[in-house]
Structure 1
Amino acid sequence: MNKWLTLALIAFSTLSWAQVTDLDSLQAQLAQHSLVRGDFTQLRHIEMFEQPLSSQGKFTLSKQQGLLWQQTTPFPVNLVLTQDKLRQSFAGQDPQVITAQDNPMAFYFSHVFLAVFHGDTEALQEQFDIEFKRGSNQWTIELTPTQAPLNAVFKSITLEGEENIEGLTLQEVRGDKTQILFTNQTHQPETLTDAEQAQFSF
């Protein structure tokens, strides 16, 4: 690679990092892109089991439409979450659709977790105490629920990353924990594909 291009990339990276110093600058960085796609690995730690339960797949997060979560292993699961609907389907089964009217509590949690996935710190401040930390190579925010029903389920929710959210940890009150690692993230193409748009149209 041309040394000037290398220096330019380093300078851009340093500038980007310099901008992330608090919640406001983090919010601004995460809001730069309306779409992010990538791979995920989810590790579910259950106290009664020695080894975590692992699953992998792909995700698409759209600020306008919602979350498309496509698990591929250990078995296929397709989940689409919007502001007012949730559709999930397992291999060989008809999809199930739940609306906000059907289950208001489920959508209370869904709206919170869309805000978590988006890193929407303004919305999160309504539900959590937020602690921001800046390390040498990443930022971390720890969310502590301040009201029911979240504080009856979760002890804390931790987000960490650099340009994007790269890790999400859900620590439950009862001791179980879920870790989700996000890799191979991209913002291209900048609009939903026809196949992705079709997933959100239900």
Structure 2
Amino acid sequence: MIKRCLASLLILISPLAWSSVTDLASLQTQLSQHETVRGDFTQQRHIEMFEQPLSSEGHFTLNKEQGLLWQQETPFPVGLVLTQDKLRQTFAGQQPQVITAKENPMAFYFSHVFLAVFHGDTEALKEQFDIALKTESDQWTIELTPLNAPLNAVFTSITLSGSDNIDQLELLEIRGDKTDISFTNQTHQPEGLTDVEKQQFNF
């Protein structure tokens, strides 16, 4: 269940103005300036035992107050709703599965770390990662190297790159598997959640 949650959480994205990002403090300011971010994703999961990557596509909504909506559309529908203390997954034709932070604290440990990554909470990230920020021309790259268990028992590194927005996310696992996610069509309008989105967070 934890690995399934992690795979579903490889999603989030926030806008960056590259010209304003010179250090971790300015990066955090840029990542936290918008209340809501929406966009599309394409994910490729490279598993060593398979010759071809496992591909999926869909869209997401990230809200600072409420959490994350993650909707995979292909190759089959999967819906994820993540809040600070609850997680709901819905697979096509099945009843939703709901877990809470009390029931599975380890899953929520990982989810909170990933939310900190995408919200640019550098103070929280410094406790978990060695952080390297690089800029070249109009591109930037952030490489996060886990310092402590259980993160360093799962991931070798987490790398984000982009220009005006986060365009790519790579997660490299200790066992050699890799997940690549491309983000497109990011928008911050409307700034608040729609009625439909609010309803999805109500569970």
- Counterpart CA distance in 1 for 2:168 and 2:68 is 16
CA RMSD between the two structures: 1.0
C-alpha deviations, 1:107-150, integer Å up to 9, x for none? Answer: 10010111122232222111000000012121111000000000
1:99 Cα offset (Å) = 0.1
- Counterpart CA distance in 1 for 2:163 and 2:148 is 29
1:18 Cα offset (Å) = 2.9
- Counterpart CA distance in 1 for 2:109 and 2:31 is 23
What is the one-letter code of the residue matched to 2:89? Q
Cα contact 2:19–2:138 (8 A) shared by 1: no
- Largest Rg, 1 or 2: 1
Unaligned runs of 5+ in 1: 1-15
What percentage of residue pairs aligned between the two structures are identical? 77
What is the one-letter code of the residue matched to 1:138? Q
C-alpha deviations, 1:158-190, integer Å up to 9, x for none? Answer: 011223222111100000000111100000000
Unaligned runs of 5+ in 2: 1-16
When the two structures are superposed, what TM-score results if normalisation uses the length of structure 1?
0.90
Counterpart position of 2:185: 184
What is the one-letter code of the residue matched to 1:177? K
When the two structures are superposed, what TM-score results if normalisation uses the length of structure 2?
0.89
Cα contact 1:43–1:179 (8 A) shared by 2: yes
- Counterpart CA distance in 1 for 2:167 and 2:102 is 33
Counterpart position of 1:118: 119
Runs of 4+ aligned structure 1 residues displaced above 6 Å come to: none
Query: Of the two structures, which has the highest relative contact order with CA contacts closer than 8 Å and spacing of 6 or more?
Result: 2
Cα contact 1:130–1:141 (8 A) shared by 2: yes
- Counterpart CA distance in 2 for 1:177 and 1:134 is 23
The 5 Å alignment of 1:123-134 reads 123-134=124-135
Cα contact 1:29–1:163 (8 A) shared by 2: no
Counterpart position of 1:144: 145
- Counterpart CA distance in 2 for 1:64 and 1:197 is 11
Counterpart position of 2:21: 20
Cα contact 2:68–2:81 (8 A) shared by 1: yes
- Counterpart CA distance in 2 for 1:162 and 1:34 is 20
- Counterpart CA distance in 2 for 1:17 and 1:140 is 11
1:57 Cα offset (Å) = 0.1
| Partner-residue secondary structure (3-state), 1:105 | helix
Counterpart position of 1:45: 46
Q: 1:137 to 1:150 in 2, by over 3 A?
A: same
